Amino acid sequence: MPRFCANLGFLFTEVPFLDRFERAARAGFTGVEYMSPYDYPAAELARRLRDNGLQQVLFNLPSGDWATGERGLAALPGREAEFRDGVERAIDYACELGCTQVNALAGVPRPGLRPQEIRLTLLGNLRHAASRLAEAGIRLLVEPINSRIDMPGFCIDTPKKALSLIESVAEPNLWLQYDVYHAQIMEGNLARTLEANLERIAHIQVADVPGRHEPGSGEINYPYLFALLDRLGYAGWVGCEYRPQAGSEAGLGWLKGVAPAPAMPRAEALAAG
């Protein structure tokens, strides 16, 4: 079955952020992802990863002022210099954390901008980021996010749009981040999309619909999709980016039927030895 990593922005939120690394490891995860590392020193995050035997799987490029509604900078005309500075900052963090892929959120352009201006800005920024990150050995991902519920106005809101964008950017280091939750809301046709485009998909995230809760809580047939990923030979990570219905640990029961038994936590392993 796929390798599952814990999204620390969604799971183990019962404790402060830096304590979530230990919670993830104790739950059997070997990888973690989260939106933004930039509020913490990279050395401290690296220590948490190392102390808990975790791999940093993914984080985002700087996404602007989240508190005021910004949801990424890549498609915002006039913010190109800030976007490029963010690429350099992400490279510094990725190198410190041993992370080999980062995600670029396209953003919510302000009303009144011409679509062509938005598109040219997005193409230029992604070409720059893909090339610069390739020099550092880091993949650039782009993620479509649904504009119906979670991010109204988000300019790349379907896998179809994201795949077209990847083709237009024409950089080998640009990949699709496929979030099953967002894709189901906007397009559906999940299995066929995975089958047709797996060679461009570098990372997958999961949550069920409706509610964005754990797999098995809604309408998506996740056992079928996970088995399909195995048949297709998907070798990447699957990020658990969902809101637990009844606590993080309690909400992990769905993993028992689809994933190998987690490794014994380090403390128990030492005691057993």
79 alpha-carbon distance from chain centroid = 23
Are 216 and 254 contacting, i.e. CB atoms less than 8 angstroms apart? yes
Residue identified by tokens 């799987």 is 57
Residue of 33, 143, 171, 214 marked active site:
143
143 is catalytic: yes
Residue ranges with strand state E in 145-273: 174-179, 201-206, 237-240
Q: What DSSP designation does 106 have?
A: B
Cα–Cα distance measured from residue 257 to residue 261, given in angstroms and rounded to the nearest whole number: 9
Q: Which of 270, 203, 265 is nearest to 30 (CA)?
A: 265
Cα–Cα distance measured from residue 198 to residue 207, given in angstroms and rounded to the nearest whole number: 19
241 is catalytic: yes
Residue of 33, 171, 214, 241 marked active site:
241
Residue identified by tokens 């508190």 is 67
Annotated catalytic residues are 143, 241
